[in-house]
Amino acid sequence: MSGKTILVIGTYDTKDDELDYLADIIRDQGGEVVTMDVSVLGYPSKPTDYSKHDVAEEGGSSITAAIATKNENKAMQIMADGAALLTARLYAERKFEGMMVLGGSMGTDLALDVTAALPLGVPKYIVSTVSFSPLIPPERLAADTQMILWAGGLYGLNSVCKASLSQAAGAVLGAANAVEKPDTSKPMIGMTSLGKTALRYMVHLKPALEERGYEVAVFHATGMGGRAFESLASQGAFACVFDFCTQELGNHVHGSNISAGADRLTNAGQNGTPQIVSGGCYDLVDIVGWQGLPEKWADHPTHAHNRLITSVVLNTEERRAVARAHAEQLAAAKGPTAFILPRGGYGEWDREGANLHDKPGLDAFQSELRATLPQNVEQHEIDAHINDAAFAEKALEIFDDWRAKGIV
């Protein structure tokens, strides 16, 4: 018997049966339930712990104002604002340990705001008719959101949707019971990278930073990894960031779906977190491999990394655009910022002698960086490759200097 409390959110005027079924499963498994109604027009068959009026008023509005919009989208945005604020407050007051939202596309839109309002480590589950859909932009997904498709559940309970709902109820309660929340006793370093075949600096840096008393979290910079990294950076979760794989920024600049969002390379700086940056794999743009090659890349060399990801090799002018994007994103940084420029290249495949080596392209990227990086960014140019030990040593040198000065 876990005794954990789960917050269950939904439109109780139209989905009473499904929401009550979820609550019954949670209670049958030994959990407790707190309910929140986010309907606008109707009322539940029995009162919820937090009514639609409570939700709207938490966001500084009212149900009357929501109805007066005469617009379903605007009305639900009022409810989403209130639900996110109320959920965050209830969690701060320790009223629940896990949360789940049930909905169609409208409820999912609201659910994305609510899950984003909770910190990493709080179990958060979305049961949705559009789970895993391309309708959902990656930048709106909280770092540890879980989803399940609400199959066969558009209207009323049945054995198909019960299979999904019961799994979701058990999953969120199990997660609340088993979760090991982030340990804040040690300061954390946030680092970005790819697999060790492309980028390897973390192999040297992680133990070296741990010896200095820091915990190190390495994020896989393939879209959602960068999204999680940026989300945590915005919350001030890191003592310092080693943001050495910024390929997602190039993906975004050149229109790839494998993007961490328009705010990539901004949140640590906006939060004043010290950041050491480089441009790991800047020369590649990843695209969704199974969707085929867009026409704009038809004359570019490509590499099929696996059935999911294909990498497109950028030309010289496209690399210059990526360099300028780095400068633009870092210009607003409020904290100490350093950029390491390794003359030998930024990924294992672009080393001299490797199959993607392109000296004119590398030189163009470097020269654009030198010319456009703003005054608030220290430039550290080294005669090494990003995967050489000298790169990691330079990063540690900057970090140790900042520690000695009390910056970190």
Model confidence band, residue 2 (pLDDT cutoffs 50, 70, 90)? low
**For residue 226, which of 260, 178, 271, 180 has the smallest C-alpha distance?**
260
> C-alpha angle 270/278/298, rounded to 5°?
105
Q: What percent of the chain has pLDDT over 70?
A: 100
Residue 83 near residue 9 (C-beta atoms within 8 A): yes
For CA atoms 340, 342, 348, 350, the dihedral sign is positive
Model confidence band, residue 229 (pLDDT cutoffs 50, 70, 90)? very high
- Give the domain ranges of the chain: 5-178, 188-404
pLDDT value for 112: 97
When pLDDT is averaged across residues 195-217 and rounded to a whole number, the result is 96
Residue 250 near residue 322 (C-beta atoms within 8 A): yes
Residue 122, phi then psi, degrees to nearest 5: -90, 120
Per-position DSSP letters for 160-228, written without gaps between them: HHHHHHHHHHHHHHHHHHH--PPP-SS-EEEEEE--TTT--HHHHHHHHHHHTT-EEEEEE-SSHHHHH
pLDDT of 193 > 80? The answer is: yes
Sheet holding 124-128, edge to edge: 32-37, 5-10, 98-103, 124-128, 145-149
The SS3 assignment for 291 reads: helix
Residue 308 near residue 347 (C-beta atoms within 8 A): no
Interval 62-77: pLDDT, tens: 999 999 999 999 999 9
Per-position DSSP letters for 375-400, written without gaps between them: TTEEEEEESS-TTSHHHHHHHHHHHH
Top-tier CATH class for 5-178: alpha beta
Q: What is the spatial distance between Cα 229 and Cα 223, in angstroms, rounded to a whole number?
A: 10
Q: What percent of the chain has pLDDT over 90?
A: 85
Model confidence band, residue 348 (pLDDT cutoffs 50, 70, 90)? very high
CATH code of 188-404, in short, is 3.40.50.12030
Least confidently predicted of 61-75, 171-185, 188-202: 171-185
pLDDT value for 383: 97
Model confidence band, residue 1 (pLDDT cutoffs 50, 70, 90)? very low
Model confidence band, residue 305 (pLDDT cutoffs 50, 70, 90)? confident
Looking up tokens 């000065």, which residue turns up?
A: 405
**For residue 387, which of 345, 328, 354 has the smallest C-alpha distance?**
345
pLDDT of 302 > 60? The answer is: yes
Residue, of 5 and 356, whose pLDDT is higher: 5
pLDDT value for 137: 83
Do β-strands 309-313 and 302-304 pair in parallel, antiparallel, or remain unpaired? antiparallel
When pLDDT is averaged across residues 309-336 and rounded to a whole number, the result is 97
Residue, of 293 and 386, whose pLDDT is higher: 386
Interval 338-347: pLDDT, tens: 999 999 999 9
pLDDT value for 303: 86
pLDDT value for 311: 94
Interval 234-280: pLDDT, tens: 989 999 999 999 999 999 999 998 889 899 999 999 999 999 999 99
Interval 118-149: pLDDT, tens: 988 899 999 999 998 888 887 788 878 999 99
When pLDDT is averaged across residues 201-205 and rounded to a whole number, the result is 97
pLDDT of 373 > 70? The answer is: yes
pLDDT value for 167: 96
When pLDDT is averaged across residues 35-46 and rounded to a whole number, the result is 96
Residue 116 near residue 122 (C-beta atoms within 8 A): no
- Mean pLDDT for all residues in the chain: 94
Residue, of 80 and 154, whose pLDDT is higher: 80
